Amino acid sequence: MNENRFRMRTLFLIAYIVFALLPIYWMVNMSFKTNEEILSSFSFFPQHFTWHNYRTIFTDASWYSGYINSLIIVAINMTISITVALPAAYAFSRYSFLGDKHLFFWLLTNRMTPPAVFLLPFFQLYTTLGLMDTHIAVALAHLVFNVPLAVWILEGFMSGIPREIDETAYIDGYSFPRFFLTIFLPLIKAGVGVTAFFCFMFSWVELLLARTLTSVDAKPIVATMTRTVSASGMDWATLAAAGVLTILPGAVVIWFVRHYIAKGFAMGRV
């Protein structure tokens, strides 16, 4: 009976993995075909294997600048989010203060509010500030969900560090900034990594605000991709290649934080 159960489970698992991987495989498959092949024949492997689509993306400025813009936006956003979130997360994990729970709740609501709600005011705000179509505008707009997220994840990791460490350090005469930078930060390296990863993820994929706040100069790749979708005569092959390239940075990052990713998700904080 044990044997049977084992086989049932494995079968289910394999079935799920096929279900999970097939769509991704199909896109990768298509990214190596030409448009003619995609539309004319139907095959599991590219018949006329080509790098053409990738070459298009790397040589056409309207495509590769999308990636560069996205990276700039994400980098600005990640830096700001983590810098402001670190001290706040420390405060939440170590002290209780007036209104701490309400403040934490307020932060959570911002993570959960659909960006669509803030769309119009953001548009007005950044037009007034003259920041439309700049990287900083999108990066700042993305703070609304990334800062709460960063505080949340970091607070979880910091709470796992025993408070005795802080106390010992203060007794030894460490000032707060010195303790924080030389002792505490190295201890929560993994947490910072996971936080950075999630900030990266959510800023990288956000479409609505990014699309509304940019037009040409700062247009991120997600917005570029929707433009191709609406263009006449679908360029499926290039779209597929762009999709594959958009997955790659995430895949690279996940490799570095793979031991902590489950923990990050498991905190239920994503």
6-25 binders of other proteins (CB under 8 A): 9-10, 12-13, 16-17, 19-24
Is 136 a binding residue for other proteins by CB under 8 A? The answer is no
Min separation Cβ 148 and other proteins, Å: 7
Burial bucket for residue 258 (CB in 10 Å: 0-12, 13-18, 19+): exposed
Is 231 a binding residue for other proteins by CB under 8 A? The answer is no
Is 71 a binding residue for other proteins by CB under 8 A? The answer is no
Q: How far apart are CA 229 and CA 246, in angstroms?
A: 15
Token pair, residue 156, equals: 């979880």
Nearer to other proteins, 19 or 186 (CB): 19
Min separation Cβ 13 and other proteins, Å: 5
Is 125 a binding residue for other proteins by CB under 8 A? The answer is yes
Nearer to other proteins, 29 or 65 (CB): 29
Min separation Cβ 58 and other proteins, Å: 18
User: What is the 8-class DSSP label of residue 98?
Assistant: T
Are the C-beta atoms of residues 53 and 118 closer than 8 Å to each other? no
Burial bucket for residue 56 (CB in 10 Å: 0-12, 13-18, 19+): middle
Buried b (16+ CB within 10 A) or exposed e, 101-123: eeeeeebeeebeeebeebbeebb
Is 190 a binding residue for other proteins by CB under 8 A? The answer is no
Min separation Cβ 238 and other proteins, Å: 11
Instruction: Candidates 102, 172, 173, 177: give the one binding other proteins (CB under 8 A).
Output: 102
Q: How far apart are CA 248 and CA 265, in angstroms?
A: 20
Is 161 a binding residue for other proteins by CB under 8 A? The answer is no
Instruction: Candidates 45, 61, 114, 164: give the one binding other proteins (CB under 8 A).
Output: 114
Instruction: Candidates 101, 178, 189, 227: give the one binding other proteins (CB under 8 A).
Output: 101
Instruction: Candidates 63, 67, 90, 184: give the one binding other proteins (CB under 8 A).
Output: 90
Q: How far apart are CA 154 and CA 41, in angstroms?
A: 50
Give which of 104, 135, 120 is closest to 220, Cα–Cα: 135
Which residues in 250-269 contact other proteins (CB under 8 A)?
250-251, 254, 258, 261-263, 265-266, 268
Burial bucket for residue 23 (CB in 10 Å: 0-12, 13-18, 19+): exposed
Angle at 79 between CA 75 and CA 80, to 5 degrees: 120
Write the CB contacts of 48 (distance below 8 Å, at least 6 apart in sequence). Answer: 33, 34, 37
Instruction: Candidates 45, 61, 128, 233: give the one binding other proteins (CB under 8 A).
Output: 128
Is 73 a binding residue for other proteins by CB under 8 A? The answer is no
Binding region for other proteins (CB under 8 A) out of 45-53, 59-67, 102-110, 185-193: 102-110
Instruction: Candidates 36, 60, 100, 217: give the one binding other proteins (CB under 8 A).
Output: 100
Is 158 a binding residue for other proteins by CB under 8 A? The answer is no
